[in-house]
Amino acid sequence: MYQDILINWSPQETRVAVVEHGAVQELHVERTLERGLVGNVYLGKVARVLPGMQSAFIDIGLDRAAFLHVADLMSSINSRHAEPEAVAGPNGNGTPTLLPIEKQLFEGQSVMVQVLKDPIGTKGARLTAQISIAGRLLVFLPQDNHIGVSQKIPPREREALRQRVQTLAGSAGGGFILRTNGEDATDIELADDIAYLRKTWARIKDASMRLPPASVLHQDLSLLQRVLRDLVVENTQTIRIDSHEQFDKLHAFATEFMPATVSKLQHYGGERPIFDLFNIDEEIAKALGRRVDLKSGGYLIIDQTEALTTVDVNTGGFVGARNFDDTIFKTNLEASQAIARQLRLRNLGGIVIVDFIDMLKDNHREAVLAEFQKQLARDRIKTAVNGFSALGLLEMTRKRTRESLAHQLCEPCSACSGKGVVKTARSVTYDILREILREARQFNPREFRVVASPKVIELFLDEESQHLASLSDFIGKPVSLQAEAAMAQEQYDIVLL
């Protein structure tokens, strides 16, 4: 299935859409002031070691300390101040053992780390001390001597490719993993990538000896450059960008590092905005909503929480099949395709629970699961499907490295604080009546004044006027009302006069 990549660039924001047959499959957004940190290498400073959690908080210069677990800590720390005893050795069975983190790190120690996950919500960045540097064809592992090959390359070809990389890498140290797009690379291309990666690592090591703790040693490529490195595949037809200046820069970058992509690059100079060609902005608006309509008349309801994402499948108005079982089956088949696309489009990660419509036939369940797994296989992000649970829910995970599209572009509603609902005006009036009674028992003002939203005040003047008058008589104080248009429905003030 052929794809096109559209790039909309402005000084404040870069937006990338991957389009297949007119349908948007992926959206990537990078804002100049909010650029992601995944892949960046820092010289961190240990702020706190937590033996009970076998983890540490590392200061890398962000608002919140980042998190490093012992499993992501190399046995030989790349640090100017690492303790010499922090070396893990094999146990009696010949398998590696992990020393407790308190024997490897101490407060104030400098340690080289790389960001695995951006800060998400209230959580700090997730770190690893096992550095990896991605190139066009290879990933360099400077602290390892392992030579690996992408699992997406057919098994029968892996050993020959592994030997090629081993020969080209020589004995200079470090390990490499051949990326999927390096399968057909020439020896010269591979050798150039190896030289580039080793040169990058040398610059990182030099910076780590010169710069103070909490410094950036290496920054991952910008979204524009990552388009060429990560998003371009064999079936990519065109990469169109609407900025002539950025086209020239991207062309120069491609010519030096990724010459195979040069012929796909195009500068878009049309009068209509490039995202208007495929209604990308409309797709973005849909990707921020809860409801996704299916062509059959069914629909999905997608709810994202901090811990997990739930997807509910509904038949809606679909009545196209001859019997109800077939209706359910066809809706679930269509939903499995739509859900896989929405996961990519919205960049949803972590635990995902899908509530397909209950199916009575085992062969229907198996067919829906097979179709869902087939659609997920197109995802660049690692996914794992656990199948249907005893309750008929499908459980899966999708690796989360960056904020979802909704978290990037939206913030919690100031009126409902992210709940998605607000108290009714009547509920607020009763809250106010109770609050006035509490205040009257503690204070003795001349008058109580209620300042609230117009809808709440209107209810006090109409249906709830009798209750307000009764309370005023009971406390022996007048209660006046003042509408404030700027107030949300749940907001109110009780002023003592």
pLDDT of residue 77: 46
Q: Are 50 and 56 a contacting pair, CB within 8 Å? A: yes
d(CA 335, CA 229): 31
319-328, 359-368, 374-383, 452-461, range with the lowest pLDDT = 319-328
Residue 86, pLDDT > 60, answer: no
Q: What is the 3-state secondary structure (H, E, C) of the chain?
A: CCEEEEEEEECCEEEEEEEECCEEEEEEEEEHHHCCCCCCEEEEEEEEEEHHHCEEEEECCCCCCEEEEHHHCCCCCCCCCCCCCCCCCECCCCCECCCCHHHCCCCCCEEEEEEEECCECCECCEEECCCCEECCCEEEECCCCCEEECCCCCHHHHHHHHHHHHHHHCCCCCEEEECHHHCCCCHHHHHHHHHHHHHHHHHHHHHHHHCCCCEEEECCCCHHHHHHHHHCCCCEEEEEECCHHHHHHHHHHHHHHCHHHHHHEEECCCCCCHHHCCCHHHHHHHHCCCEEECCCCCEEEEEECCCEEEEEEECCCCCCCCCHHHHHHHHHHHHHHHHHHHHHHHCCCEEEEEECCCCCCHHHHHHHHHHHHHHHCCCCCCEEEEEECCCCCEEEEECCCCCCHHHHHCCCCCCCCCCCCCCCHHHHHHHHHHHHHHHHHHCCCCCEEEEECHHHHHHHHCCCHHHHHHHHHHHCCCEEEEECCCCCCCCEEEEEC
At the topology level of CATH, where does 425-496 sit? Hypothetical Protein Ychn; Chain: A, (3.40.1260)
Residue range 19-52, pLDDT digits in tens: 988 889 999 999 887 788 889 999 999 999 999 9
| Cross-sheet strand order for the sheet of 308-314 | 291-293, 299-304, 308-314, 350-355, 394-398, 383-388
- Amino acid in position 488: A
Residue range 141-200, pLDDT digits in tens: 999 888 999 888 888 899 999 999 999 998 888 999 998 878 888 898 899 889 889 989
d(CA 478, CA 437): 12
Q: Which of 392, 384, 476, 468 is nearest to 429 (CA)?
A: 468
Which residues on neighbouring strands pair with residue 439, listed in sequence order? none
pLDDT of residue 327: 85
Q: Which of 354, 389, 351 is nearest to 372 (CA)?
A: 354
**Residue length, the chain?**
497
pLDDT of residue 320: 53
**Residue 64, Cα to own-chain centre: how many angstroms?**
18
Q: Angle at CA 403, nearest 5°, toward 182 and 105?
A: 80
- Amino acid in position 469: A
Boundaries of every domain in the chain:
3-35+222-280, 289-405, 425-496
d(CA 232, CA 291): 30
Residue range 307-322, pLDDT digits in tens: 899 999 998 765 555 6
Residue 106, pLDDT > 60, answer: yes
Q: Are 58 and 70 a contacting pair, CB within 8 Å? A: no
Percent share of the chain, pLDDT over 70: 94
Average pLDDT, the chain: 88
d(CA 313, CA 316): 9
Residue 368: Cβ-neighbour burial (10 angstroms; 0-12, 13-18, 19+) = buried
pLDDT of residue 97: 60
- Amino acid in position 256: E
Q: Long-range contacts made by residues 382-391, C-beta under 8 angstroms, separation at least 24? A: 383/343
Query: Encoding tokens for residue 291?
Result: 């409801």
pLDDT of residue 317: 66
Q: Which CATH code is given to the segment(s) 3-35+222-280? A: 3.30.420.60
Q: How far apart, in Å, are the Cα atoms of 7 and each of 25, 27, 96, 227, 242? A: 14, 10, 46, 9, 7
Residue range 202-260, pLDDT digits in tens: 999 999 999 999 999 999 888 999 898 888 888 899 999 999 999 999 999 898 877 88
- Average pLDDT (327-344) is 93
For the full predicted model, state whether its pTM sits above 0.75.
no
